[in-house]
Structure 1
Amino acid sequence: MIAPRLIARAILRVVPAEHAAWAEAMACEIVAARDDRRFAMGCLCAAMGLRLRTTGGRAMEQVSERPRMTAVSCGVVAALLGLVYLGRTGAPATMLAANAGAIALGLAGVAVPRRVLLSDATALFTAFLLLATALLGAAADGAARWLHLGVAVQPSLVLLPAAILAHLTRRSALTAGAMVVAALALAWQPDRAMAGALLAALLAGGRRSGPVPILAAAAAFAITLLRVDDLPGVEWVDGVLFSAVARGVLPGLAVIGGTAVLLAPALFALRDARADTRAFGATWGAVVAAAALGNYPTPLVGYGGSAILGYLLAAACLPARPAARAIDPVPAMRDAARDDRLFRLA
């Protein structure tokens, strides 16, 4: 008799207030069942599961309340785990230095005012730089995606994610035109990975993207699928998601963990109605998918400062906090009444 009653009291205190009615019913059943400890323990496990799910959901809500800080933090952690992978697998010191420098430069970019990153000028500059790269950039095996600025830089990875967010935020004719030019440039280069990322982001943006940019991105992606893209893989850059596991436990965990961390904002974006946060998640989800399916740079955890810069600059484009929402006092009063009833029953 004593143990089931103690379990019933524990359930009343563990279960979240929104499930108070269920807790009260279970407590009555446990007391009525007397010595059925198996049933009581099953109810207690279910109550603890409800508490963990509710607590986890609230923690996710608190994190998603700060999308910019969350994305920047995830980017830095993922890039640092990438340094662990490079260091443990014997990558040249220059690669570690380049990625570390990209982290520092990206954090400096986070300090740039958000209105500058989200301006029409940023989107237009990105579009015409991508077009110039397709025409004049460094080419390899028929693909022209890079500019040599002391080190090879891929402008599409650095600037396109931020330009997409600028378009979704401003939704002007200039930014829409910039998306069309960017799509043309990606088809010309060709860059299948970033063309797919552009299409995924605009689709995630929904109506704010506009039909013309979406159609241009879809056409560009289709063209890249038809064009030959057989660049050979580069060690520590391509195929990292699979080769890291074969290199050892720590490198494998660093790459898998880093990839999970960089995609975490995409999971938070699933709970957010904002077009920019959904597009941010779709962009980097598409880049990771491309890296898993072909010889494309593995973002943040592999060698390459372009993705690190691009991720942090795009993160800086996200709002510091979501728009203020009106507070409905009725649910709060209802929760208070449930808490009071639980206290009296316990």
Structure 2
Amino acid sequence: MANLLCRALESILPPRLRDWGLAIRYEIAEIPEDTKALLFALESVCGLAPRAIGVLLLQPFISLFGAAVHASRAGANSGFGALHSPRTVGALCAVGAVAMGLVYMTLAGAPVGYLGVNAGSLVIGLVLRALVSRIPGAGGRLSGALIFSLSLLLLATAILGLRIEGTARWIGFGGVFVQPSFVLLPLMLVGFSRTRTPLATIGMVVAALAMTLQPDRAMAAMMTTALAAVTATRADRPTSMAFTASLLAFVVTLLRPDAVPAAPFVDQLLFSSFAVHALAGLAVVAGLAMLLVPAIIGWSCDKDSRATYFAFGSAWLAATIAAAFGNYPTPVVGYGGSAILGYVLSLSALPRPVRSRVGSETVPPDDPQASRDIHSKIALA
């Protein structure tokens, strides 16, 4: 346990502090008693982990600022250079969208706890995104296995999840309800746009079955729209099979009754927010528009990965439209941490930062150094 704690700490430490993690591991190796070694490891984690997490949270802002400075020194278009990484811009957009949601909920008189849930979900999402970004890019077989595993979780939610008005979309953790489809499905869709292995295709079919059983029209619409975007840009047999399954699932959800009532501060905010205050409505619109910015930037900057950015933007646009016309959660700006986690995690599935030409120089990607230690991956998981 002490060894795993140290390896986990070392994996999240920034490069300039990583020697401290290595020194702690050597120190623990010299402690003969296991209990003392574990206590020393716990004290070390408590001392260094907050600083490491703080650096991880600031990394998107540091990367964006560093890119802007690099571009300005090159004497060219500094704005374009600063936006070379859709992942980084997406993290900033997530922060902005959550902030707009907090503005809306404050003007609408939402409980203070609602604001804390959204802000806390953003912090957790950014930490998870930073940790996932440190893992080296997985191969197609591993990505397919991940998509398939996540689809089984969605299917388990449809069978064993909390039922409200005949629908099973949620699971509960100590009074906090999470919608796994909103957390996992965007990540699966963006990942499938890049990895269309047989196992990944089966995973998408299982996910479509889960959306049918829940049933969830909004997530089925998100799935169908994103896979349609992938099919339109990069058609092949796996994509066509996944799209057909999602389309059938969407049709079935339209035929099945969905009587879940609208929840305050969650559903149909795009229009109802203007009844609260004009500023509240503008905040909701601005926050929802921010969700699509990474897709727009990626589409224009990275022509080789347009299918992925098209799928990302289509998925979140579909979720927004579904929330506007049905009793479904308004993504990111409405109350609830599931969409916030789903949005930030889906950013980690986007391609690595593209290299943007600025004059005669090349802006380096802000790809953090990745730990290839298998023990670190196990501890991180």
Bin of the TM-score, shorter chain as denominator length: 0.7 to 0.9
| Shift in Å, 1:251 | 1.3
Distance 2:255 2:147 in 1: 27
Amino acid in structure 2 at the alignment position of 1:186: M
* Structure-to-structure mapping, 1:244-283, within 5 angstroms: 244-271=273-300, 273=303, 274=305, 275-283=307-315
Counterpart code for 1:234: A
Shift of 1:116: 6.1
Please give the secondary structure, in 2, of the residue aligned with 1:148.
strand
Which deviates more from structure 2 when the two are superposed, residues 241-250 or residues 287-296?
241-250
Select the residue among 271, 294, 297 that pairs with 1:242.
271
- CA displacement at 1:250 relative to structure 2: 2.3
User: How far 1:264 sits from its partner (Å)?
Assistant: 2.1
User: Are positions 1:71 and 2:90 aligned together?
Assistant: yes
Q: Alpha-carbon deviation of 1:254?
A: 1.2
Q: Could you say which residue in structure 2 is the equivalent of 1:176?
A: 201
Paired residues, number: 270
Shift of 1:59: 7.9
Structure 1 counterpart of 2:56: none
Is 1:124 aligned with 2:148? yes
Contact 1:122/1:166 (8 A) holds in 2: no
Q: Distance in 2 between matches of 1:100 and 1:324?
A: 32
Give the distance between the partners of 2:353 and 2:130, measured in 1 at CA: 16
- TM normalised by structure 2 equals 0.66
How is 1:42-57 mapped onto 2 (pairs within 5 angstroms)?
none
1:166 corresponds to which of 191, 195, 199 = 191
Q: Distance in 2 between the 1:219 and 1:62 partners?
A: 43
Structure 1-normalised TM-score? 0.73
Post-superposition Cα deviations, 1:247-289, rounded to whole Å, max 9, x if no partner, equal: 1132122111111111223433553542111111011000001
Q: Compute the RMSD of aligned alpha carbons.
A: 2.3
Specify whether residues 121 and 80 from structure 1 end up closer, same or farther in structure 2 by C-alpha distance, changes over 3 A only: farther
Give the unaligned 5+ runs of structure 2.
1-76, 361-381
Partner residue, 1:312:
344
1:147 equivalenced with 2:171 (yes/no): yes
Partner of 1:88: 107
Partner of 2:42: none
Partner of 2:335: 303
In structure 2, give the amino acid aligned to 1:141: E
CA shift, 1:189, in A, is 0.5
Alpha-carbon separation, structure 2, partners of 1:242 and 1:63: 34
Correspondence for 2:157:
133
Q: Secondary structure at the match of 2:352?
A: coil
Judged with a 3 Å threshold, the aligned counterparts in structure 2 of structure 1 residues 244 and 320 are, in CA distance, closer, same or farther, namely: same
What percentage of residue pairs aligned between the two structures are identical? Answer: 44
Give the distance between the partners of 1:235 and 1:258, measured in 2 at CA: 18
Q: 1:323 to 1:202 in 2, by over 3 A?
A: farther
| SS of match in other structure, 2:168 | strand
**Cα distance, 1:323 vs structure 2:** 6.9
Bigger Cα displacement from structure 2, 316-325 vs 152-161: 316-325
SS in 2 for 1:234: coil
Aligned partner of 1:287 in structure 2 is: 319
Query: SS where residue 292 of structure 2 aligns?
Result: helix
Partner of 1:225: 254
Assess if the C-alpha contact under 8 Å between 1:165 and 1:280 holds in 2.
yes
> 1:135/1:94 Cα in 2 relative to 1: closer, same or farther (>3 Å)?
same
| Greater Cα shift, 233-242 or 266-275 | 266-275
Match of 1:100 in 2: 119
Q: CA deviation at 1:73?
A: 1.3
Equivalent residues of 2:86, 2:295 under 8 A apart:
no
Q: Over residues 110-154 of structure 1, what are the superposed CA-to-partner deviations in whole Å (9 max), with x where a residue is unaligned?
A: 113343698234312220111001101011111110001121100
Shift of residue 106, structure 1, vs aligned partner: 0.5
